[in-house]
Amino acid sequence: MAGEARRRRLRVLLARADAKTVNVTAIDAALVHGSAVREGLAARSNERLEFMGDAVLGFIVARWLFERYPDANEGELALRKSSLVSDLALAATAERLDLESLLVLGQGLAKMPSSRRRSVLADAFEAFLAALYLEAGLEKVAVFVVREHLIEHERVSPSIDDPKTVLQEWTQRRYGVVPEYRERPEGPHHDRTFFAEVAVNDEMLAEGSGPSKKAAQRAAAAGALERLRKKYDDLAPRELSAPRGANGGAA
């Protein structure tokens, strides 16, 4: 996307952040990946902004969790924060905000499937937050992050004990990888059952089924956790605290 069409999309993004007065050129660099610079398509990447955005996001998330979960201990707060600032969570928000259509990428990276660009999307989201912080201030960014990322993520994934979340956190912590799912549908289109297999480091751990891909994946993840808990002590079920209020706050 280039020219006026891109500027219009950037203005829509700024309006969503309640920052209409910010000049689009001030945030344009937040969406330029290093691959574009290496191929001579842009002058400066978003790497420095991503560095600052990571810190800004971390503070906002920590403050929100501290206030939203007054009974949570340090370990639970850290676990919740890890879930909220993961590449998977940030990329999901970036996709919902349609940041992908605004990314300036090198040709090789642009040809890769979207699933291979999750970390790029996550970095771009953090870089955008940094650019917004520099132009509009911390509290403007905080309101945007709470509304567009934290509350939305909590609505979609209300529990960090969701089997897929728990399995992913554990595999990242132990092996530095995320689980891989393979699905297949069976039955007529109007009455399909989905089957999913979950594997870690190419080892198939479990299979599950359900009326949708996500349900099948959750069932597979639950089966994998049941198997792994017999072998590893650090997968014991957790007791989690309840949030204060229904929607949380920006400050």
The DSSP letter of residue 112 is: S
Alpha carbons 144 and 16: distance in angstroms, whole number: 8
In angstroms, the first-to-last Cα distance of the chain is 35
Taken in order 16, 89, 33, 145, is the CA torsion positive or negative?
A: positive
Alpha carbons 64 and 58: distance in angstroms, whole number: 10
Catalytic residue among 28, 87, 126, 154: 126
Catalytic residue among 28, 50, 54, 154: 54
Catalytic residue at 135? no
Decide if 210 contacts 219 (C-beta within 8 A). yes
Catalytic residue at 71? no
In this structure, the number of other CB atoms found within 10 A of the CB of residue 37 comes to 17
The DSSP letter of residue 186 is: E
Decide if 138 contacts 6 (C-beta within 8 A). no
Catalytic (active-site) positions: 54, 126
